[in-house]
Structure 1
Amino acid sequence: MKKHILLIDPLEKLVIKKDSTLMFALTLQKRGIETYLIFEEDFFVSNGDAPKLKVHSFEGSFEDDNCYLKDFKLTESLDYQIDKNTLMHMRLDPPFDGRYLRFLWMLRYYKSLGVEVLNDPDGVLLFNEKLYAYEQESSLKTYVGSSKEGFLGFAQEIMAEGHRELILKPLDLYQGIGVQKISLDDDYAAIFEDKVKQYQGPVVAQPFAKVVEQGEVRSFYFKGKELGSILKVPKKGEYLANIAQGASYSRYDLNENQRRECEKICNELAGYGVHWIAFDILGDSISEVNITCPGLVVEVSSAYKRNLCEDIIDLL
């Protein structure tokens, strides 16, 4: 049985109670699988002999629901010799910036040593979580760029279709950070230019989809199998279906169109070693294909009243 090393952010940055990575690590451990955490300050590559990395053992427990974490702490550090019997998990949170890119390059080096990395860094490098969703036929009409002229043309086009509101958001952030709804009666060109300046490059523009007021779906897949889906509903009067920002959630059954789209994408990404995927879906349109550090496993597990990390381990 392979040993598991999870590359994660510092514990102080995480919400321990509902962190998907810590839930997974603790579930692996409770299944009797040797599992360690490693932080970016301890992660390096060195040619020649396979490096010994400082990894950390841990202990913790779940609440009675076996989903939310009651407690979690590091116990000791030790030197670990990386070998082909190691499965490394890339579990650093985005943004997908220069820092993130460097760690993907470094993880590619471990692949050259015969170490399996999940999700495969080559696949994560190739597919932007938002742009890949926009490639799909069912996607919402979308503009991505920093060209004012291109944006103005897009805005005029969607106004001609009857839209009066627009969503602007960064291309590489997460958890609803930077998402802004604007009226097309406002000075939307100036707002767009401010966004481009703020994020130093291309931004995403889409017509506001009122369906989000009824909720956005998060569907969690592993190795092509749907493990569970929830409907995230924004707080009344708001438009961000983000649990970290107050959205409620409940169990959800995918319809045939949604399931077909998710399975098609899973089949394609499997060829690039990307198996851990969380879809965000508005209506029948996939709005995001989360592959960097798919989260909300705790919340989806809670909705299903069982720990879905058990299913991941079985599929591994």
Structure 2
Amino acid sequence: MDPIQGIKPAKDTTLAMMLAAQKRGLQVHYIRQQDLSVDSGKPLISSRPVTVYDDARHWYDLGEIESNEASHFDLILNRIDPPVDVGYLTASHLLSLAEQQGVLVSNRQQSVRDCNEKLFAVEFPDLCPPTLVSSSAEQIRSFHAEHHDIIIKPLDGMGGRSIFRVRKDGENIGVILELMTAQGQTAVMAQRYLPEIAQGDKRILLINGEPVAHGLARIPVKGEHRGNLAAGGSGEVRPLTERDLEICRRVGPTLKEKQLHFVGIDVIGESLTEINVTSPTCVREIDRATGSDIAGDYIEFLLGCLRGTGS
């Protein structure tokens, strides 16, 4: 996970998973990305036993550092936040070696590497708004001319960072494209702007391809086009609509096939916009509003996989 001292415990989904594992009698260890290594083909992990608390002022105690082969562990959750950069990919490959030794790593690392969180959604084009992925300013300008109001975003971002809206007048599109595409060297995603964002960008969580009953609609503050909580949006828990469920029915079997056990999809209005496979959040907000135990359900599913009863 990312540094435990820097999380926001009242909101942190990874902490919720650690609490759920601890509640079920599992010994939990804390591992940072830089704690993974490989020696002569053997993946090694430096870890620290951790005791966690549901306390906003004191949420963890760490034990002494232990060094073990990865096969010492039954289950490893990779909850590092994007970007999926060289450091992330290196750690992911080392975790794939752990998978080869029989460790259950969730989500499956090959699938995480294969499924860019922006591009994955494009595999379901009829569920998405009109979308273009390109590094060509000419193509993106043509897309804007067709749709008049568009969103441009990087393929490796999170939390609403570096997402630009270009309205009909096209103001600043030139400098935005220069910056975002690095003068035509880097592909970005352009999507038709969805005015339904005013009612919220809904995060829907799926465990083994099955949706949780409620999602979190992240509603932008006035004057903002991003609903992300990290960008100042507010959260409102809502039951899933029939359209939400239809999208889940389409996407769920692919998630299950790829062993993407815990995924967060983003839906604006009637449209799928992203499929988040690295470190989906919003568990704490949904649990508080509904009395659910999403992290507990996830850990129970993984325990079933370890026992050979998961599906």
Query: What's the TM-score once normalised by structure 2's chain length?
Result: 0.88
Match of 1:146 in 2: 135
1:169/1:205 contact within 8 Å kept: yes
Change (3 A) 1:52 1:191: closer
Within a 5 Å distance, the mapping from 1:149-228 to structure 2 comes to 149-159=138-148, 165-185=149-169, 186-197=171-182, 201-227=186-212, 228=214
Change (3 A) 1:106 1:52: closer
Match of 2:91 in 1: 103
Change (3 A) 1:144 1:52: closer
2:202/2:266 contact within 8 Å kept: yes
1:229 aligns with 2:215: yes
Give 4+ residue runs of structure 1 displaced > 4 Å after superposition. none
Within a 5 Å distance, the mapping from 1:34-183 to structure 2 comes to 34-47=27-40, 50=42, 52-62=44-54, 71-83=59-71, 86-136=74-124, 137-159=126-148, 165-183=149-167
- 3-state SS, counterpart of residue 109 of structure 1: helix
1:241 aligns with 2:227: yes
Which deviations, in whole Å up to 9, do the C-alpha atoms of 1:173-210 show, x marking residues without a partner?
Answer: 10000011122312423422222128961111122211
Q: Distance in 2 between matches of 1:286 and 1:123?
A: 19
Match of 1:22 in 2: 15
Q: Distance in 2 between matches of 1:98 and 1:51?
A: 18
Which residue type is aligned with residue 52 of structure 2?
Answer: G
Which residue type is aligned with residue 132 of structure 2?
Answer: Y
1:302 aligns with 2:284: no
- Superposed displacement of residue 41, structure 1: 2.2
2:26 to 30, 33, 38: 33
Query: What's the TM-score once normalised by structure 1's chain length?
Result: 0.87
Q: Distance in 2 between matches of 1:198 and 1:33?
A: 50
1:281 to 262, 267, 277: 267
Change (3 A) 1:82 1:192: closer
2:38/2:94 contact within 8 Å kept: yes
5+ long unaligned stretches in structure 1: 1-7, 160-164
Which deviations, in whole Å up to 9, do the C-alpha atoms of 1:208-241 show, x marking residues without a partner?
Answer: 2110011111111111222231211111232211
Which deviations, in whole Å up to 9, do the C-alpha atoms of 1:238-265 show, x marking residues without a partner?
Answer: 2211112222212211122221211321
2:136/2:184 contact within 8 Å kept: no
2:208/2:255 contact within 8 Å kept: no
Q: Distance in 2 between matches of 1:85 and 1:95?
A: 26
1:196/1:203 contact within 8 Å kept: yes
- 3-state SS, counterpart of residue 273 of structure 2: strand
- 3-state SS, counterpart of residue 29 of structure 1: helix
Change (3 A) 1:295 1:274: same
1:170/1:204 contact within 8 Å kept: yes
- 3-state SS, counterpart of residue 314 of structure 1: helix
Q: Distance in 1 between matches of 2:130 and 2:205?
A: 24
Which residue type is aligned with residue 255 of structure 2?
Answer: L
2:96/2:110 contact within 8 Å kept: yes
Change (3 A) 1:166 1:57: same
Which residue type is aligned with residue 39 of structure 2?
Answer: S
Which deviations, in whole Å up to 9, do the C-alpha atoms of 1:136-167 show, x marking residues without a partner?
Answer: 112011111111221122122213xxxxx321
Change (3 A) 1:43 1:289: same
Which deviations, in whole Å up to 9, do the C-alpha atoms of 1:279-313 show, x marking residues without a partner?
Answer: 11011211110001111211222222343211112
Identity over the aligned pairs, expressed in percent? 30
What do you get for the CA RMSD once the two structures are aligned? 2.2
Q: Distance in 1 between matches of 2:43 and 2:278?
A: 25
Match of 2:305 in 1: none
Q: Distance in 2 between matches of 1:276 and 1:51?
A: 24
5+ long unaligned stretches in structure 2: 303-311
- Superposed displacement of residue 51, structure 1: 5.1
Going by fraction, where is strand more abundant, 1 or 2?
1
1:170/1:199 contact within 8 Å kept: no
1:262 aligns with 2:254: no
Which is further off, 247-256 or 280-289?
247-256
Aligned length: 299
Change (3 A) 1:200 1:37: farther
Change (3 A) 1:41 1:104: closer
